[in-house]
Structure 1
């Protein structure tokens, strides 16, 4: 076969798309590409002679269809918004020229790399195209190839299904106002930003798991991650801690939040009681009175003494733990002269009270020699 024949064959191969639309050439070479071999003849002369003598020897053209494209991606879990490489592969096509493009949500990607090489030694070709993309939830990627052997392009679509994102550290919230000791307290544990949806939330109180929680998982944010809220009701006890523990496939170990109930508990102080001398005293003699109240929480309490509407100075107070429930008791002392018609009032105020409460001691009882009593 002469060098001219090789050139003719190459021209026909590379320009077949043009030749297909030229009816004059088709009349000569037929509806399929035929290659003409004549020594020392130009393509024009060969085609002209073929049209009159019909003595041209031919050989069928070679054409191979590319295989449907296949896409491969990472086979391990990938973090949301991280960058990963996808590869698209097709083989068995001929001639070598092929078009391959990438698309995401109907938008074409740029900056892909394409490598075309021989395939299996049978003089066909294979192509591999790589592209680096950002891992997004529910985002699909399409590889599209086009070739002269195809009547229309072929597509393959790939979705990254092993995306993960770790949940935020959980936070626990409770009532806006303090609740009474030993009454029910509603707590909420919240965490967001995780993917996929499945998550495990458990509650613990003083090391023991609490079973009766309610959980709600909803979509969160523009990244289509998720948010969880878990609710539980527990009895309010002093120095009792509640733990919310979350576990998710994106975590190497669970995350926890610890809630101390003390900040949201209150104990109401008992009505104050005043004690004084148990025997009569001489008029204007100094006497010591004691005001007591207990069962309150938290520890801070205010005790004031009043006489004739004016606050008395010089009192001393002692606050200490009281009882098994770890509430507090206050003892306040004051020394005043014993006068007729001069009652003394003890007033206490505490965060658990809607308003202060009073108790009054009548001096007349001890000046007249009677036993003291409380009002």
Structure 2
């Protein structure tokens, strides 16, 4: 189980614990995510080029500031009880091991990108060699290493109970940073997301889950333009709060538009949830040092799905058991460089 603690304010999940549980017997040996990827004990600097001339929060950011204060209050209440339970294994470091492990993954997986391919693993977890590189596959998983523009061509006869998206939202700062370090990926504008045929891929009783930045522009477009095009209604949001292994937010809560220690998980639905279960839940975890390596939400979403749901992740960079994964880097974080034998 990835869920290690829960109270009225939120839930703490372990990305590593969940993934490790998937690969306890891979071709006769156990595999785990490299623990160094999660050795983040020092906070990151949140003061990145926020214009000093902003003396107060203007109307554009006023809503986020109010939301931020509520999240911070709930987070503090959550952590008061969480820290008493000693869930975290405190190991203070300088984040060096984590950054080096992430750099190794970027370098090695970047040499072995699988492009223009599709396939899967019908059966138990296993390792497979593709183009002289080794990849780890969870049980009963399907992948399409294809550009998002081709999704209707390959999935035109499919319907899903759940569609999860982790879009590469357009962001000037991240674009410059990723280009500088050589790990750039193609970012898309809001109109590009709107044209993804979610309306044709989602069942009448389906749920859409979207990882979103804290940008008011992105959030507003998602709810007022993209969701209506997909024929889903806004159902609420959760907040992924990233913490260090010492129990502090990964960076300080700062005045918008400064960097925040949380991202938003937005829900759209086609069936009536009354009252909505998708309101203000805090999902707390120690993040991976790999950029945009989101924790799996599988166990948190199970209560809202049928016994044997059909699930699709778009813009995926790793695989999940029983899911279909679609994206042009869909196997990148299944590369052997992420794992160690146990």
Which bracket does the TM-score occupy, shorter chain normalised?
Answer: under 0.3
Which entry has the higher C-alpha Rg, 1 or 2? 1
Which structure dedicates a bigger proportion of its chain to helix? 2
TM-score, normalised by the number of residues in structure 1: 0.14
TM-score, normalised by the number of residues in structure 2: 0.15
